[in-house]
């Protein structure tokens, strides 16, 4: 039996989803509890807790863990954790909740996703969190804006998850929990697995990144964000279809597993790259591909900040290793795909198409060069863009 990377915190996976047979009775109890509404990001964190992706966390963090994660990327117990996982609520609602109460956690539509046993109520300095985690308090940053406009009181305590939302039904054969990806990797006989995080269709530059990972690991996990994205992003279903087309035509069978997971991006750049690594370890991965401006947004982070932060954390913070790859592109003088580390030529020799320019090319029906994207991928995207116009 192949030996995969141990779950984070050196124990076993800790999914917080109630066992099927208990769910009904807990739900019945929850229906009579006071309801705490969650933001879409909080729902996505609860789903990550539910599936075991946030192992070994047992729920939403208290004040000491929150502060430790902000300042030192460690919980009060010394566990490495780069971004606090918290639940906020408005102060008038919080006033009616007493420590020791159990509350029901609901999404914007009122669906119960779980319960929280309130162990702590506390008020945070939201700007303090943002300046540590996001390196900015500028509300033009979508992740920061969500923190700054969240409720003023945080509720903390152990969680029981009751609901995994629509993902499993919407993406059959894609929504895999950490125990399931581990089983898939074991079935393939893999020991080392690189995770490739994506929230976009994969063009040739992404394919190239992924193939470098295939060279040095037993297998590749193409791991798609199924949670909420930025406006203008291609919908998950279209992206999935385009990635399917790429994998079917340009990857060797038996080297790739595809999966999706329910996080909502924070766009916290380097700190989020660390979080991406930690939970990929739970999914059974030994490596995380960290490209240029990983989990970044606009110009908020330097293009290699997410590479550098892996050198700044204590050794032994996690088992998984970053696979740091510079910017990738087609270079006409190299006559092939290359990266900033392997191509000595100038910008004038390199093919660069921005996301905006690409959308414009689709809109105008312009020919997109085969050096930029596979025709099979472009066909899928073209059908989508033709539809939305």
Q: Per CB under 8 A, does 250 bind a second copy?
A: yes
For residue 55, the tally of other CB atoms under 10 A from its CB is 24
Terminal-to-terminal C-alpha distance of the chain: 51
Q: Which is nearer to a second copy, 297 or 338 (CB)?
A: 338
Give whichever of 192 and 224 is closer to a second copy, judged by the CB atom. Answer: 192
Tell me if 189 contacts a second copy by CB under 8 A: no
Rounded CA-CA distance 195/13 in Å is 18
Instruction: Provide the 10 A C-beta neighbour count for residue 241.
Output: 18
Closest CA to 289 of 209, 215, 360: 209
Nearest-angstrom CA–CA distance, 37 and 33: 12
From the CA atom positions of the chain, what is the Rg in Å? 21
**Residue of 122, 128, 251, 385 that binds a second copy (CB under 8 A):** 251
Minimum distance, C-beta of residue 212 to a second copy, in the bound complex (Å): 5
Which of the residues 135, 177, 182, 199 is marked catalytic? 199
What is the rounded distance in angstroms from the CA atom of residue 302 to the CA atom of residue 298? 10
* CA neighbours closer than 13 Å in the CB half-sphere of residue 307: 11
* Residue 253 binds to a second copy (criterion: CB under 8 A): yes
Site string for a second copy, 255-284 (x = CB under 8 A): x-----------------------------
Q: Which is nearer to a second copy, 325 or 353 (CB)?
A: 325
Question: Coil, strand, or helix at residue 83?
Answer: coil
Quick one: which of 123, 127, 216, 383 contacts a second copy (CB under 8 A)?
216
CB of 170 to a second copy, least distance (A): 29
Our CB check for a second copy shows the closer of 133 and 217 to be 217
Q: How far apart are CB 341 and a second copy at their closest, in Å?
A: 6
Q: Indicate the pairing of strand 256-261 with strand 219-225.
A: parallel
- Hey, which residues between 345 and 374 contact a second copy (CB under 8 A)? 370-371
Inter-residue contact 236 to 226 (CB < 8 Å): yes
From edge to edge, which strands make up the β-sheet containing 193-198? 256-261, 219-225, 193-198, 287-290, 321-324
Total of chain residues touching a second copy, rule CB under 8 A: 26
* Residues 361 and 353: beta-carbon distance below 8 Å: yes
Minimum CB separation from a second copy for residue 382, in Å?
19
Among 23, 200, 359, 382, the active-site one is 200
199 is annotated as an active-site residue: yes
* Cα–Cα nearest to 61, from 110, 113, 121, 15: 121
Which of 18, 337, 377, 380 is close enough to bind a second copy by CB under 8 A?
Answer: 337
Q: Which of 252, 312, 315, 387 binds a second copy (CB under 8 A)?
A: 252
Q: Which residue has the tokens 């609860």?
A: 46
Q: Is 344 in the site for a second copy (CB under 8 A)?
A: yes
Q: What are the strands of the beta sheet with 336-339, ordered from one edge? A: 336-339, 328-331, 350-351
- Is 299 a binding residue for a second copy by CB under 8 A? The answer is no
Pairing of strands 321-324, 287-290: parallel
Is 7 in contact with 177 (CB distance < 8 Å)?
Answer: no
Give the pairing type, strands 102-106 and 112-117.
antiparallel
Tell me whether residue 232 or residue 335 sits nearer to a second copy (CB atom): 335
Q: Which of 40, 58, 342, 352 binds a second copy (CB under 8 A)?
A: 342
| CB of 108 or CB of 370, closer to a second copy | 370
200 annotated active-site: yes
CB of 204 to a second copy, least distance (A): 8
By beta-carbon proximity to a second copy, the closer residue of 25 and 342 is: 342
How far apart are alpha carbons 365 and 359 in whole angstroms? 10
Q: How far is the CB of 215 from a second copy (least distance, A)?
A: 5
Based on the shown chain and the rule CB under 8 A, indicate whether residue 381 belongs to the binding site for a second copy.
no
Residue ranges in contact with a second copy by CB under 8 A: 211-212, 214-216, 249-253, 255, 323, 325, 334-344, 370-371
Active site residues: 199-200
């Amino acid at each position: 039996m192949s030996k995969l990377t141990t779950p984070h915190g050196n124990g076993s996976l800790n999914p917080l989803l109630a066992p099927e047979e208990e769910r009904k009775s807990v739900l019945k109890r929850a229906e009579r509890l006071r309801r705490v509404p969650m933001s879409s990001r909080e729902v996505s964190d609860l789903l990550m807790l539910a599936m075991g992706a946030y192992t070994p966390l047992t729920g939403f963090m208290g004040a000491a863990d929150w502060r430790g994660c902000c300042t030192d990327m460690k919980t009060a117990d010394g566990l490495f954790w780069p971004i606090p996982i918290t639940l906020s609520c408005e102060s008038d609602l919080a006033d009616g909740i007493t420590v020791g109460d159990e509350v029901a956690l609901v999404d914007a539509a009122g669906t119960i996703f779980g319960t929280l046993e309130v162990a702590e109520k506390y008020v945070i300095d939201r700007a303090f969190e943002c300046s540590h985690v996001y390196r900015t308090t500028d509300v033009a940053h979508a992740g920061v804006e969500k923190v700054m406009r969240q409720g003023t009181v945080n509720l903390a305590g152990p969680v029981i998850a009751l609901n995994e939302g629509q993902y499993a039904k919407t993406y059959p054969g894609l929504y895999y929990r950490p125990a399931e990806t581990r089983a898939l990797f074991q079935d393939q006989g893999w020991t080392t697995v690189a995770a490739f995080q994506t929230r976009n269709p994969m063009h040739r530059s992404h394919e190239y990144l992924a193939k470098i990972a295939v060279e040095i690991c037993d297998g590749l996990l193409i791991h798609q964000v199924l949670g909420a994205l930025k406006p203008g992003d291609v919908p998950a279903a279209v992206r999935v279809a385009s990635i399917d087309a790429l994998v079917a035509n340009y990857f060797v069978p038996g080297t790739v597993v595809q999966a999706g997971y329910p996080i909502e991006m924070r766009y916290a750049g380097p700190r989020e790259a660390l979080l991406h690594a930690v939970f990929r370890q739970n999914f059974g991965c030994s490596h995380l591909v960290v490209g240029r401006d990983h989990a970044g947004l606009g110009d908020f982070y330097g293009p290699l900040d997410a590479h550098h932060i892996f050198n700044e954390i204590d050794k032994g913070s996690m088992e998984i290793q970053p696979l740091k790859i510079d910017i990738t592109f087609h270079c006409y003088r190299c006559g092939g795909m290359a990266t900033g580390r392997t191509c000595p030529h100038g910008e004038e020799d390199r093919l660069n198409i921005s996301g905006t320019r690409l959308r414009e090319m689709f809109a105008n029906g312009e020919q997109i060069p085969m050096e930029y994207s596979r025709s099979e991928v472009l066909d899928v995207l073209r059908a989508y863009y033709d539809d939305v116009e």
